[in-house]
Every structure is written in structure tokens, then in C-alpha cells.
Structure 1
Amino acid sequence: MQRAGLAIPKYQVVFEALRRDIESGRLPAGGRVPSEAELVERFGASRITVGRAVRDLQLQGLVERRVGAGTFVRRPPATAAVDCTFGVLVPDLPDIEIFEPLVQGLLAAPESRGHAFLWGGGEAAPHDRASAAWGRVQQYINRRVDGVFFAPMEGLADDDVNVRIVQALDAAGIPLVLLDRSAYPYPKRGPYDLVGIDNRRVGYAVTEHLLRAGARRVAFLGGETGVSTIDGRRAGYREALDALDADASLARRPLPAPGDRDAVRAYLESHRPDAIVCAHDRGAAQLMHTLLALGCSIPGDIRLAGVDDVEYAAWLPVPLTTVRQPVRQIGEAAIAAMLERRAHPERPARDIFVQCTLVVRTSCGAIA
């Protein structure tokens, strides 16, 4: 299946087919969704692909999972009046692992009861996400939703898309709560509540941990600048080097793309780091595989740590030391912030930071 000459991801094909079955009544309310094995056979897809499609249906409130029984089409809500209707817009959901449990925390929070949620995110291919997000925002504005939760997009060719989205909501008088990151590049702030973690403190904490574990030359893997979460973690990394009077010679020499084996080899030979702070676990996992392929011992030759504590962090070839984001609590804090913003629109915008936890595993060398 293709769109505009480009292949549509297989999980999206499965998702759209099941969604049509639900909306048409072929899968009736309260009815059981075919098992993963049945869906694998029907679509000729892997269990991972089918599982992702079903999770997306669950995030959109179309199905629910019952332990020991299977997955069922959700029944329409009772006729009780809905207090508020909120829009949720998370365009990067398919690629950033923290967003799925974050949204689940938002929808499952006690404060969310009695409210309706419209979903937007994850349905477009990467090259279409900006235009799809803009179209979804126009729908929210036309429906006059009571508020919008928005996780600004990363890696955009047009950096103004996030700003246009928040300004359009602002002009329509719709309250906005940002998830995880600002819509503006640092140091701009914007007049919107933001719920997430203190990325600067996170970068400081993980760097400090590596230094106290015995590292002397700590490098940083973060990709391009301009992403506010990564920029904050990079700033914290530099502050920790300075505060602990550590060798800061690598602070201006970021690592190359973690999957580029030749470039990583050249970097190691030129700069000789003995530890690396990775701005997120996804990059840490890619780098770990590259380092192991190059014959490096982790943590013997290079200590490694990341941020996020995604589901697979503990199951990497060397279990990854990382900072755990309490993503479900971020979702719960977001709905509380939205309800308070609606009740007190005159209050100044706030950054609401949820406390993180350092999870120590083998990769940092602190565990014998």
C-alpha cells in the first residue's frame, strides 16, 4: 500500500483496517478483537507490527485490553454529560518511546474522568507529520475544544511549524499544555504551561554519576542542536564537568551518528573518551551495538549511560544505566495543569517538573 508514491508502514495498514472495521460495526462494541495470531495470519505481518497497531487503537480509546481475556472494542460512553472535550496532539508518537505511556497516564488519570479526548498523532508518515499536525489543530479549533495537550515535534525542516500551531490555538482562545518540551528553541519560553522533566538537572545527574564512578574523559552523544530537551541535557552535562573540575575537552566535540561505525571508530581513536553520556536511550542503544562491534568493552573500555529508561534499556547486550522518566506521572500532572489553567487563566505560565530517578545498571561500571 502506498501514499503519494511512498510505502505506508505496515503497522499503519493494520491499524487503519481495524479502525474501519470498528467504525463500520464489523467489529461491534463490546466484541472481541481477533487475537494477535489471527491478525498475523490475516495481514501477513509480524507480531510486533500487529501489537503496535493494537496499541495505537488502545491509545485512541477504540479498544481495551482485559487481562487473561483479550482485546475488546470499547463500548460508547454512557449518556452522562461530558464536562470538557480536550484534544491530544503527539505527532512523534511512533518514534519516541516515552510518549505512549505518557498519553496512557494522561487518559487514565482520575482527573480525566468525565472528560472526552480527541486523538491526533502517529497516523502520518514522518515526512507528512507537520502537515498532518496542522490539519488536526484546525479540526480542534473548528470543534472549539476546551483545551489541547501538545508535544512539539522534533527534527523539523521548518522550525516554525510548532510555533504556528501554538499561536493558532492561542489566537482561538484555547488553553494549551505542552508535553515534554517547549515549542520554542531555548531560551525562548512562550506563554504556555509545560509539563515534563528538568532536562538540565538530568544531564547534570547522569554526568556526575559517571564521574563519581571513575570516568575521567566524558563525551556527549546528542545529535544536532535545536531540540530543547537535548540542549538542556547537554547544558547539564557541561555544568557537571565544570562543577566537578573534570576534563572538559570533549564538551565541544560531540560524537558522530551512533550507527556510523567508521566515524565512531575515528572519534574514539582521536579523542579517547572513557565514558559517554547519551541524551536518550535510543541513541545509547545504537551506540552500544556500534561500540561492541568495534571490539570495545562496556564498561571496561567505555562507560555508557542514557536518559528515559525505555522498555528495552534493561535488556540491551549490556544493561543500560539511565535516568527513568516518570512518564505516566507526567501525563497525570498534565491533566491537572489543564484543569487549573481553565479555572485560573490569568495565572502566569509554569514549568511543572516531575522528579526523575537514576537507575544504575552494568553499563556505567558502578556495579561490579
Structure 2
Amino acid sequence: MATHKYREILEKIQEDLQSGRYTPGQRLPSETELVRRYGASRMTVFRAMHELQTMGLVVRRVGSGTFVAQTSNSKSHVFGLLIPELGQTEIFEVICKGMMESQDAVRHSLLWGNSTSKENEKEKVAEQLCQHFISQKVSGVFFAPVEFSTGRFRANHRIAEALDEARIPIVLLDRCLETYPRRSRYDLVGIDNRRTAYQATEHLIAAGAKRIAFIARPNSAPTVDARIAGFREAIQALAPTPIRDSVNLGDASDQKFVKAILKKDSPDAFLCANDFTAGLLMQTLLSIGERIPEDIRIVGVDDVKYAGLLPVPLTTQRQPCRDIGRIALAVMLDRIGNPDLPARDVLLGCQMVVRQSCGAKSREQ
């Protein structure tokens, strides 16, 4: 009920601002007046006014009240962050910080939406947040499509279609809506996943690995398919002797699954889809008596904070997250200013961070 009342207040004041009922510089009703008018709690009114301030529509002056923002702020934009994993990974938090730290961000605001840790609710939460951003008439949405759920492609397309219908520009973060190597008709900013996996595989081969296996979680984002493509390309191009293609989708914490890979392919190295998978795999291998890197080398992708704190410090590829955020904001502003531009993929390179898990001499920076 509080959420319904909060949105009622927010949308009614927005309507009043757009209709001209309140003019730039005019003082708005006090929180006490709004509490009485809408029959809401003071906290609900405060939340609505705070969001209006975040959107750049009002200015709050201590001791004086809340006033309609001057028209000089009319060129500012409010963007929605539709990121189901926000708050659950290190990657997207840093990307968003990169947006806020950009020089272009001075005049603009970001709306952070709620997320959920329950896989079966991510699609529903993402679609609800999409509708909220549409109701708020945001200038654009940064969208990281849902992954892992079986209905993710349908949900992601419904979200994109709803934003298209509302004529709200989309910039995709990290991943595409379509299966690899297809691409959508939206701008995308992320890393070059194919090249990243190619370089990681090249590093393992140079370190002496002769039987490399790739491991990932099922129903992952198209970024993982691109990494698989880069892995296979490097195996074919660089392996001194033929290496059997070993791509494995499953739970890296499952001993039975990991033992089956070891029995089938006898790998002496693993390239993991990301650091989270690498951490799970490392724990599993150590628990069954495998030595890292003496018996099996491991390389991941991301360079999350705990990568260097694992039982065996992890060699990985560091994502330039802040740069992704900064460039994503520039791409969004360019899209708003030039809506007829062809869709673009802006793909950044990663930096190899060498630690103990690959058996090579550490050169962490």
C-alpha cells in the first residue's frame, strides 16, 4: 500500500509540473500539507519528494521548502538502470560508478531499481521495473538482460518492446538480447568476450597446458557463448598438437560433474566463464585432492575483489568496468542526440592479471 501511495504522489506532482500548474521557482506544498492531502505517511511523502529531486525536477532548500527546478535544467536527463543483478555482483556496481564519475553525468541522474536474488523472480522484477521507468518517463534505460532463467529471452524481448513502444532509448550493458553471434538493434557496451577468452586460452597454452577444458553455468548470457567461441578459436589456432574440444556446462561445485570431466578429458587446465565459476571449481578440485596449479591450472574472467584471496590466488582477465560505465553514458547521450545512427557494439579489451593458479610467475598490478 505504501508503494502504491508513493507512486500516486510522485506521478500526480509530475503531472502538475508538466501541465504548468507549478511554474519554475515556485514553492511546492510542504510535506505536512502533502501528508494531509494524500493521507500518506511522512516517510512516503519524503520518498516521493526525494525521487523528484533525484530526477532534477525539484530543488529542496533546508528551512525554506521544496521548489520547482528552473528551466535551465531542462536539458538534463534521468536514466533508468534496469540491471537484475545490481547489488549481487561486483561488475555492475562499478559500471554504474563509472557512469556517475563521468564528466557527462554532471547534469544527469540515474534511477536505481530494486533487484532480487531469487532466480525465478528476476524476469518478473525486471518487467515491473521496466514499467516503473516507463511511468516515470525516463530519457533512456541502461539494460543488462536477464540471464540463467529458461524464459530469459522472451522476458528480455518483452522489456525491449515495451521500451520501444514508449520511445525510450536502450543501451545494453555487458550482454546482448540475442543468442551469439546474432545481435540486436540496440547499442551495446561491454568487453570483447571472444578476444578475452582467446587471450586467456593463449596464456594457458604458453604456460604449458596441453588439455584445456572450458566450464560454465547452463543458461548463461550470450557473453559466455562468445567466450566459448574465442576459446575454440585459440585451441584450433595455437595448440601445438590437436586438443579435443572440451566445453562443459554444469555446476562447478558438484563433485560428480567435475569428476566426470576429469575422467572424460583428463584436463590439465580449465578456462572458466567467470571468476565465480572459477572459485567454485577451485574449491571442488582441492576437495578431491587435485593440486593447483601443479595438477590443474585455472584461469577466470572478471577479476572480482576476492580473486586474489582464493585458496590459490586466481589468474584472470580484469574488466575495465569504470570505462564501460563512462562510455555507456556517452553512447546513450549520442543515441538521444542522433536517434538515426546505426546500432553499435563498443567492446573494450581486458587486462590479464597473472597469479598463482595458472602456474606462471605472478605479475599482478
TM range (shorter): 0.7 to 0.9
Aligned residue number for residue 176 of structure 1? 170
Whether 1:221 aligns to 2:215 is: yes
Q: 1:232, 1:165 → 2: CA distance? A: 23
Matched to 1:233, the amino acid is: R
Partner residue of 1:39? none
Query: 1:155 Cα shift?
Result: 1.0
Instruction: Describe the shift of the 1:252–1:296 C-alpha distance in structure 2 as closer, same or farther (beyond 3 A).
Output: closer
CA 1:152–1:362 in structure 2 vs 1: closer, same or farther (change >3 Å)?
Answer: same
Q: Deviations over 1:40-79 (max 9, x none)?
A: xxxxxxxxxxxxxxxxxxxx99xxxxxxxxxxxxxx9994
The alpha-carbon distance between structure 1 residues 247 and 219, as it changes in their structure 2 partners (threshold 3 A), is: farther
Taking the aligned partners of 2:45 and 2:142, their CA distance within structure 1 comes to 29
Indicate the residue corresponding to 2:272 in structure 1: 278
Give me the whole-angstrom Cα distance separating, in 2, the residues matched to 1:298 and 1:137.
Answer: 44
Going from structure 1 to structure 2, the CA distance change for 1:291 and 1:226 (only over 3 Å counts) comes to: closer
* 1:243 maps to 2:227: no
Distance 1:250 1:224, change over 3 A: farther
What is the identity, as a one-letter code, of the residue corresponding to 2:197? G
* Cα-to-partner distance string for 1:24-43 (whole Å, 9 max, x where unaligned): 769xx9xxxxxxxxxxxxxx
Report if the CA contact (8 A) 1:179-1:196 is conserved: yes
Counterpart contact for 1:175–1:342, Cα < 8 Å: yes
Q: 1:276 to 1:124 in 2, by over 3 A?
A: closer
Letter in 2 for 1:290: T
Contact 1:92 1:154 in 2 (8 A): no
Tell me if the contact between 1:238 and 1:248 (Cα under 8 Å) persists in the aligned partners.
Answer: no
8 Å Cα contact 2:250-2:257 kept in structure 1: yes
Structure 2 letter corresponding to 1:104:
K
Change (3 A) 1:192 1:254: same
Instruction: Map residues 218-367 of structure 1 onto 2, 5 A cutoff.
Output: 218-224=212-218, 227-246=221-240, 249-254=243-248, 256-367=250-361
Give 2:141's aligned amino acid. V
Shift of 1:177: 0.4
Aligned 8 A contact 1:323 1:359 in 2: yes
CA contact (8 A) 1:124 1:132 kept: no
User: 1:261: Cα distance to partner?
Assistant: 1.2
User: Which residue of structure 2 lines up, in the alignment, with residue 199 of structure 1?
Assistant: 193
User: TM-score when scaled to structure 1?
Assistant: 0.77
1:150 maps to which of 143, 147, 157: 143
Q: Does 1:133 align with 2:126?
A: yes
Contact 1:221–1:278 (CA<8 Å) still a contact in 2? yes
The residue type equivalent to 1:326 in the other structure is: P
User: Any idea what the Cα deviations from partners look like across 1:83-136, whole Å, max 9, x if unmatched?
Assistant: 111111101224333111111212222211111222224256332221111111
Aligned residue for 1:47?
none
Q: So what's the TM-score if we normalise by structure 2?
A: 0.77
Identity of aligned residues (%): 45
Hey, what's the Cα distance between the residues in 1 that align with 2:67 and 2:278?
42
1:145-184: CA deviation from partner (whole Å, max 9, x where unpaired): 1111101110122121011111221222111100000011
- Name the residue aligned to 1:120: 113
Mark the CA change 1:340 to 1:235 in structure 2 (over 3 Å): closer, same or farther: same
CA offset digits 1:270-296 (Å, max 9, x no partner): 321001000100000000011111111
Structure 1 pair 175/253, CA: closer, same or farther in 2 (3 Å)? closer
Report the equivalent of 1:95: 88
In structure 2, C-alpha distance between the alignment counterparts of 1:250 and 1:24, rounded to whole Å: 63
**Is residue 196–residue 349 contact of structure 2 (8 Å, CA) maintained in 1?**
no
Aligned to 2:11: none
Structure 1 residues 146 and 253, CA gap change in structure 2 (3 angstroms): closer
Instruction: Please give the alpha-carbon distance, in whole angstroms, between the structure 1 residues aligned to 2:67 and 2:234.
Output: 51
Q: Retained in 1: the 8 A contact 2:147–2:219?
A: no
SS for the counterpart of 2:182 is coil
What secondary structure is seen at the aligned counterpart in 1 of 2:323? helix
Instruction: Report which of the two has the higher share of helix.
Output: 2
Q: CA deviation at 1:188?
A: 2.4
Structure 1 distance, partners of 2:216, 2:281, is 11
Unaligned runs of 5+ in 1: 1-19, 30-59, 62-75
| C-alpha displacement of 1:226 | 5.7
Residue 305 of structure 1, CA deviation: 0.3
Distance 1:115 1:318, change over 3 A: same
- Asked if the contact 2:213–2:267 (Cα under 8 Å) also holds between the matched residues in 1, the reply is yes
Match of 2:99 among 92, 99, 106: 106
Alignment partners' CA distance in 1, 2:231 and 2:297: 15
Question: What residue identity is the alignment partner of 1:287?
Answer: L
**Conserved 8 A contact 2:180-2:223:** no
Q: Which amino acid aligns with 2:111?
A: L
Matched pairs, number: 305
Letter in 1 for 2:155: V
Q: Aligned equivalents of 2:136 and 2:202: distance in 1?
A: 48
82-91 or 343-352, larger mean C-alpha shift:
82-91
